[in-house]
Structure 1
Amino acid sequence: MSGGVDSSMCAHILHSQGYDVTGLYMHNWNHDEETQDEVETPPTSQHNTTYLSESTLSTEHHSPGGNGYKPMPRTAPIRPKACTSDRDWADVQSVCAQIGIPARRLDFSRQYWNQVFQVMLQEYERGRTPNPDVSCNREIKFGELVEWCRRNGGLGKDRGVSGVRSSGGVREEGWDYLATGHYARVERDPETGVARLLRAKDSNKDQTYYLSTLSESVLRHVLFPLAQYDKPTVKRMALAFASSSATNQDDELTSLQNAALKKESMGICFVGQRKRFGDFLKEYLDPLPGPVRINGLGGEVIGTHKGLFQYTVGQASGVIHKHNKWVVLKTDLPSNTLVVVDGTQNDRLFSPGLIAEDWHWISGAPPKKLLQFLTATNSTNTKDKQNDEYPFTAQIRHRQIPQPCAIEPIFESAAGNEVSLSTTVANVSSARLFRVRFKDLQRAVAPGQILVLYDQDECLGGAVIKSSLLRPEYAHEDSGNQPSTVN
């Protein structure tokens, strides 16, 4: 639970359905060890938490100074804490009190630093644009938290029995499921229990993009109670329940009302309200200025950039030259060059496809549909080829309408050259790279971001974008790249 309306209603819905629910709050950012120049601000609200006999810090809390946890020095001026962690934890406790369930606070700040935050910084240093929300889901929410559940009573069929008698019989330890307020669906085969990840009813809020690197073995133990609702309905439900639970009309706002009216959190909590995410990154990464060129590495120099990690493909560059709108086309790390183009809809910003790496299949293996498509594509008999040239859809960013596409593995020799191999499950599963071609040109394909593949409503998996495919008319303009890709 985060203190927001989605996770709050997730707990309420399950409790009202008869589940024995415990609210788990994850503390993922350690302010005390973040920097010595932080100025602590007092909490904005106080809640009485004496009713929570189970509201304790997790036994998994570790000293931030050990096991590789090494906070980086900062150079930023003194400022207040940006994250609302203390207030969110207070909100979680208040909501749990209203619902009538226990709450526990777990500390994963060390794991978040090592497995998400430092990896994010390394990606920015490589000149890429990572998505820490996807990493947080894989490594922390459905990684460390799942393992914590298994170690503390078990999860699913592995949970234990305490032998302590209660009014309902033997009290069991652990949990059957881990539930979150994500907008997504999980369907399980009634015979095998195999789970599939499907898009939510509310296409605008669908969050399968952020869940695309989870595994089927984890999804077997996950519930998404908001799958059938849209966001406005969830807010109305929260307000309705909150009103019905108020003792009189003069009561102050209840906890669920506060959750429903709370501004939705966006991005990384500890960044806070800042004008630019680049300002935050500069506290950890050293900006190295370099040239800004038009159209390619051989183009005219029109300015100096402030460090490549502060720029993302497709966004405004902030470069002032003549009266043009200069937009980021690419960042070239070897030459420390920022390449820009004129206009947000410049032709050079649009790509026919991309190369993806580190592919993750949710089921653990490539789908049969992909193998059938590849076999038909490689067939010399045109009658055997599939009529659908673009059998899948894909997203390169959250809330993008899924785009029709085709996908094929890239098999490499020991020397790194592309070779042809037979289409088998083993060969496709072992492929490190995949080429994705879209039916329509895609704007601003950014290396480091996540590509997610779908078969209709089913999310098949995700991969990291390595490079975009160049359009033929521009392939000759930039000698710093291979003919088919732009780094």
Structure 2
Amino acid sequence: MQKPKSETLVIVGMSGGVDSSVTAAVLKEEGYKVVGLFMKNWEEFDEHGVCQSSLEYADVIKVCEKLDIPYYSVDFIEEYRDQVFKQFVDEYKLGFTPNPDVLCNREIKFKVFFEKAMELGADYLATGHYCQSLLVDGEYRLVKGADPLKDQSYFLYTNKKEILEKVMFPIGHIPKTEVRAIAAKYDLATKEKKDSTGICFIGERNFKKFLSNYVTFEDGDFETLDGTKVGRHTGATYYTLGQRKGLGLGGQGEPWFVVGKDMSRNVVFVERGEFHPHLYADTLTATDLSFVSGVWNKELPFKCKAKVRYRQKDQDCTVVKIEGDKIFVEFDQPQRAITPRQSVVFYDGDICLGGAMIEKSGPSYFEMNKTLPEIQ
């Protein structure tokens, strides 16, 4: 028998931002027994001796006191360093461009933080993510957030149905504008606070300067695919496929874009033009499979939608085959800058099926000596 809301304990993961603040407010208004729990994952002081996490926790305290709910703080600095940040740095050293938000959600928010909430007696953990956990055909599914500009299901594809049974996303069904309006209605301290950006739990900063504290870089050459040297870079690791900004390359003609890297030679390959065929491929192989249901339960080949990066529009594709921990995908249209160690995430309508870590793409249209089809 389900508990009444007044006896149902919901622990809200509070970050000091407007989304988690409104999450707590909505649940309190609905009659749940709400507790705010702040997660400290990073500790670093700026030039003025101020720790950003302390400032965020101060906002959590203001919001919780305004809502008249208890609040606590837990420290996962060591877990975050060992399970997220170390891998993040290691992959950059190898020349990849990892996505720490996926790893942070898998290893921290919906693992150790979730376990801590359950240990504290929570019936549910709630977060301010823009997605939904809905019961469909007797099974909990991860569903896109109603606001297409804010949907965060891409980052949460590693969550399994067993976790989703115990997780609430109270603002996943409403647009961001309404979230701001609710914050104003309750006069929350975070009502006008800017959305956080940057690396998960590290925040917005000069990324190049930050990364240089952990990774050693050497200057090297920008080369075209035929081996022509066209300039110098400050370290191959800093650059990612499809990048245009920050190259420092000029001259007559179309802008330069990164089309590849050779880490063994510390070379960054560049070519002119956003639609250079070396940037496009219509196949990929991915590994580290993770499906919400726990298994892939669709008959192959299976047509669905997929994203190879956050905020990308859904792309038509076919999951051709799965061999062990590898999945092979063909896209109806060529995809730009499919990047190793980023995630490919699969959708059946608004339902997130799961995803995997991109291992490689291609061959590219350049390598196949084909004319690039019209990009839609």
For the criterion TM > 0.5, the same-fold answer is: yes
Correspondent of 1:86 among 54, 58, 67:
54
2:202 is matched with 270
2:175 is matched with 230
2:190 is matched with 259
Question: Are positions 1:24 and 2:32 aligned together?
Answer: no
CA contact (8 A) 1:271 1:280 kept: no
Cα–Cα, structure 1 residues 122 and 4, in superposed 2: closer, same or farther, change >3 Å?
Answer: same
**C-alpha displacement of 1:237:** 1.7
**C-alpha displacement of 1:13:** 0.6
Q: Which amino acid aligns with 2:196?
A: S
Correspondent of 1:145 among 100, 113, 128:
113
Question: Are positions 1:438 and 2:331 aligned together?
Answer: yes
Cα–Cα, structure 1 residues 391 and 231, in superposed 2: closer, same or farther, change >3 Å?
Answer: same
Question: Are positions 1:41 and 2:49 aligned together?
Answer: yes
SS at match of 1:314: coil
Q: How far, CA to CA, are the matches of 1:353 and 1:224 in structure 2?
A: 34
Correspondent of 1:355 among 285, 290, 315:
285
1:462 is matched with 355
Q: Which amino acid aligns with 2:117?
A: C
1:125-175 CA-partner distances (Å, limit 9, x unpaired): 1211111111111111111111212333xxxxxxxxxxxxxxxxxxxxx11
Please provide the CA RMSD for this pair. Answer: 2.0
Q: Percent identity?
A: 37
1:131 is matched with 99
| Runs of 4+, deviation exceeding 6 Å | none
1:408 is matched with 320
Cα–Cα, structure 1 residues 117 and 104, in superposed 2: closer, same or farther, change >3 Å?
Answer: same
**C-alpha displacement of 1:283:** 1.2
Question: 1:47-58 residue pairs with structure 2 within 5 A?
Answer: none
Q: How far, CA to CA, are the matches of 1:347 and 1:189 in structure 2?
A: 41
Question: Are positions 1:303 and 2:231 aligned together?
Answer: yes
CA contact (8 A) 2:35 2:71 kept: yes
**C-alpha displacement of 1:211:** 0.5
Residue ranges of structure 2 left out of the alignment (5+ in a row)? 1-13, 371-376
Q: How far, CA to CA, are the matches of 1:213 and 1:410 in structure 2?
A: 17
What is the TM-score of this pair, normalised by structure 1? Answer: 0.69
**C-alpha displacement of 1:363:** 0.9
Question: 1:294-333 residue pairs with structure 2 within 5 A?
Answer: 294=224, 296=225, 298-316=226-244, 318-324=247-253, 325-333=255-263
CA contact (8 A) 1:201 1:230 kept: yes
2:274 is matched with 344
Q: Which has the higher strand share?
A: 2
Residue ranges of structure 1 left out of the alignment (5+ in a row)? 33-37, 43-80, 153-173, 243-255, 375-389, 412-430, 478-487
Q: Which amino acid aligns with 1:260?
A: K
What is the TM-score of this pair, normalised by structure 2? Answer: 0.89
The count of corresponding residues between Structure 1 and Structure 2 is 354
Q: How far, CA to CA, are the matches of 1:189 and 1:459 in structure 2?
A: 12
1:331-373 CA-partner distances (Å, limit 9, x unpaired): 22233221111122323222212211111111110022xx2x3
SS at match of 1:474: coil
Q: How far, CA to CA, are the matches of 1:39 and 1:291 in structure 2?
A: 34
SS at match of 1:261: coil
**C-alpha displacement of 1:271:** 4.9
